[in-house]
Structure 1
Amino acid sequence: MSTNKIAVAGATGRLGRHVVDVLTEQGHQVVPMSRATGVDVITGAGLDEALTGVDAIVDVASWHASDQEAAAEFFRTATRNLHEAGRRAGVGRIVAASIIGADKATGGFIAAQQVHEETHLSGPLPARLLRAAQFHEFVEQLLDWRQGDCAYVPNLPTQLVAARTVAEELIALAADALTRHPSGTPIPEIAGPRRETMPEAAALLGARRGVKVVGVDDPDMPDAALAAAGAFLPSPHAKLAGPEFHEWLDGQG
């Protein structure tokens, strides 16, 4: 397999750590980009130096709050900076992670992904996107929303996927000779193989931690009705890949 020099924006994040690991295992030359490595995708500091000689960028930088306007501004600024610095450095392509259902969302963090996607697809670098389901790791966050020994988890359908599985698919896109998303074709999606509800998954983890899980309806959540109707579940063209949540949990020790 041919190897490339690939820069990873958001290299220290939940998904970025897996992208760096898989790239390293596959023998690629990795350029981790984060504020910890002296690269800031918002100010642009360090980008030109980091992207020198890079073949492709994997963009998994993310905003960690739910406010739609703030998230949209983060994605707009970071994406433009990556494209402009990448163009100056002669980078061949950029691949970015998004969320399944981003095109249907009307509010909140998922709706902000529309700005992320549009800015990538209209930028000067050839771009490809991958929409992913919620990660297995997201379930742990849900258990933090608890009162005492009881966690209240939204009654929503899901098809959780491992972050490492998403990382592997992003890298396959980055290494693909097809550098630009084909016109008229759906944006690829990746999700886990099993459909379940968030409370069902959370209960498996809760049982290990002594936390009781109660499923609740949350009408104040952005696009709650859309989510309940399955708008953020994978489309028929999605790639489904394991491990399932319970298998992943068993592997965590």
Structure 2
Amino acid sequence: MRIAVAGGTGTVGRYVVDAARLQGHEVTILSRATGTDLAAGTGLIEALRGTEAVIDVTSISTQSGTVSEKFFGAVTHHLLEAERVAGVGHHLSLSIVGSDRAPFGYYAGKAVQEQLVSTGSIPWTILRAAQFHEFAAQIYKQITLGPVSLVPTMISQPVAAREVGRHLVELAEHGPSGRPADLAGPEVLRMADMVRSYARAVGGRGPIWEVPLPGGFGRALRDGTVTAGPGAMLGTQTFSDWIAEISTREDPA
């Protein structure tokens, strides 16, 4: 099967690419480096000729609902239109657990993405996954107050990005399936505890404080809205397992 991966160089994308190639699939990475611009929609039709499935794992670093909606709206529209012209038979999007119940900030863009995909003409699959283990690393020291790192008060059910990548390839092989079971990790944790564990693993210093975010989004992060419900598929790698991997990589010995 020929699979195109939008966002194939990102946190999850590289695992999607690796898993697809391991299964013997031909992979096209959609990026500016390969002559395609997802936000502008250029070069996509040519890149998608002969492609059977597109896996969209694109992302943007923002907490602005407006910016997120604009980005995911443009990328999804361009991909779906190019797929229609090129004759692609399956579009897979990676979304987030809770995006339908808390369409605020970054999640607002995922809600737009889901709407476009589920009402479009291309047969589709949307996988909602929980935050990745790597999310703790992404938000560490993102917001600081002097030596203090601030972390939003959040209940998470982190899943290994590697497992998400493998599962997306399995879904591509299966064919369009609409909304399969959500994918989350095997345990529910506080994000502040995750960030503290990550900081220790990489030799970070300074205190880490929890800060509750205001509004509906902050409430959703605190009350478990972004954790998986009954019927979810659970990954196997725990966050502590992932931290052990990080510690090994950081160990100069």
Q: Same fold (TM over 0.5)?
A: yes
CA–CA distance in 2 between the matches of 1:193 and 1:90? Answer: 38
CA displacement at 1:180 relative to structure 2: 4.1
Moved more, 201-210 or 115-124: 201-210
CA–CA distance in 1 between the matches of 2:133 and 2:72? Answer: 23
The residue type paired with residue 199 of structure 1 is A
| Runs (5+) with no aligned partner, structure 1 | none
Give deviations 1:217-237, integer Å, cap 9, x for gaps.
323376111221111111111
CA–CA distance in 1 between the matches of 2:36 and 2:158? Answer: 31
- 2:74 pairs, out of 73, 77, 92, with 77
The residue type paired with residue 190 of structure 1 is L
Q: For residue 191 of structure 2, what is the aligned residue in structure 1? A: 198
The residue type paired with residue 235 of structure 1 is G
Whether the 8 Å CA contact 2:94–2:127 is kept in 1: the answer is: yes
CA displacement at 1:214 relative to structure 2: 2.8
TM-score, L = length of structure 1:
0.91
Q: For residue 222 of structure 2, what is the aligned residue in structure 1? A: 228
Whether the 8 Å CA contact 1:203–1:212 is kept in 2: the answer is: no
Give deviations 1:118-142, integer Å, cap 9, x for gaps.
1011111101100011111111122
- 2:112 pairs, out of 112, 115, 118, with 115
Give deviations 1:28-64, integer Å, cap 9, x for gaps.
1000101121111122211011101111000111222
| Runs (5+) with no aligned partner, structure 2 | none
Residue 204 of structure 2 is aligned to residue 210 of structure 1: yes
Whether the 8 Å CA contact 1:151–1:211 is kept in 2: the answer is: no
CA–CA distance in 1 between the matches of 2:29 and 2:170? Answer: 18
Equivalenced residue count is 245
Q: For residue 21 of structure 2, what is the aligned residue in structure 1? A: 24
CA–CA distance in 2 between the matches of 1:220 and 1:243? Answer: 32
Label 1:251 to 1:219 Cα distance change in 2 as closer, same or farther (>3 A): closer
CA–CA distance in 2 between the matches of 1:196 and 1:228? Answer: 11
Moved more, 148-157 or 47-56: 148-157
Give deviations 1:137-159, integer Å, cap 9, x for gaps.
11112222334543222221111
Cα RMSD of the aligned pairs, angstroms, is: 1.6
- 2:161 pairs, out of 163, 166, 189, with 163
The residue type paired with residue 220 of structure 1 is P
Whether the 8 Å CA contact 2:68–2:108 is kept in 1: the answer is: no
- 1:88 pairs, out of 85, 105, 110, with 85
CA–CA distance in 1 between the matches of 2:204 and 2:100? Answer: 38
TM-score, L = length of structure 2:
0.91
CA displacement at 1:216 relative to structure 2: 1.7
Whether the 8 Å CA contact 1:93–1:180 is kept in 2: the answer is: no
CA–CA distance in 1 between the matches of 2:10 and 2:56? Answer: 11
